[in-house]
C-alpha cells in the first residue's frame, strides 16, 4: 500500500493505493490519526484501492470516529465497485459520506458536509 498526503482547496487529501488489509492498515492508522488534530477536513481517496479487509475497515472506522469526536469532517472518494460492495455489505457505508471523486468530496466538505 502507498499513502500520499496532499491538499486540495484547503482540504487534506490522503490517497491510498494498493490493498488495505491486515498488513497495511497499521501503516494508515499511524500516518493519519496524528494528523487529525491539525486539519479541518479530510478526504480519504480510495480510487486506487482495489481490496479492503476487516482490518482496513476497522482503521477507516477509527479515523472517522476520531475525526467526528474532534468535530472534524471526513469523507471517502473514488470507491471501486468491490470496495463499495464490502462497505455496503458490512454496514460501514453508513459511517461515511462517499463521493465519486476528490473534487466532489472537497467541495462538499468545504460546505460543511462529511460527518
Residue 54: all three cell numbers together: 476487516
- Please give the DSSP secondary-structure letter assigned to residue 101: S
Q: Are 21 and 55 in contact (CB under 8 A)?
A: yes
The sign of the dihedral angle between the CA atoms of 96, 106, 26, 31 is: negative
Query: What CA–CA distance (Å, rounded) separates 109 from 20?
Result: 24
pLDDT category, 95, cuts 50, 70, 90? confident
Q: What's 2-110's CATH class?
A: alpha beta
Where do the H-state alpha helices sit in 1-115? 25-32, 54-69, 81-90, 102-110
Residue with C-alpha cell 471501486? Answer: 80
pLDDT category, 35, cuts 50, 70, 90? very high
Mean pLDDT of 1-10: 93
Whole-number pLDDT of residue 80:
96
Report domain extents, the chain: 2-110
Residue 111: all three cell numbers together: 460546505
Amino acid at each position: 500500500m502507498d499513502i500520499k498526503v496532499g491538499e486540495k482547496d484547503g482540504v487534506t487529501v490522503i490517497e491510498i493505493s494498493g490493498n488495505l488489509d491486515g498488513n497495511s492498515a497499521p501503516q494508515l492508522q499511524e500516518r493519519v490519526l496524528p494528523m487529525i488534530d491539525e486539519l479541518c477536513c479530510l478526504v480519504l481517496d480510495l480510487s486506487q484501492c482495489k481490496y479492503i479487509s476487516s482490518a482496513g475497515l476497522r482503521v477507516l472506522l477509527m479515523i472517522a470516529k476520531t475525526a467526528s469526536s474532534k468535530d472534524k469532517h471526513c469523507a471517502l472518494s473514488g470507491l471501486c465497485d468491490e470496495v463499495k460492495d464490502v462497505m455496503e455489505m458490512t454496514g460501514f457505508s453508513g459511517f461515511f459520506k462517499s463521493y465519486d471523486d476528490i473534487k466532489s468530496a472537497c467541495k462538499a466538505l468545504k460546505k460543511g458536509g462529511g460527518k
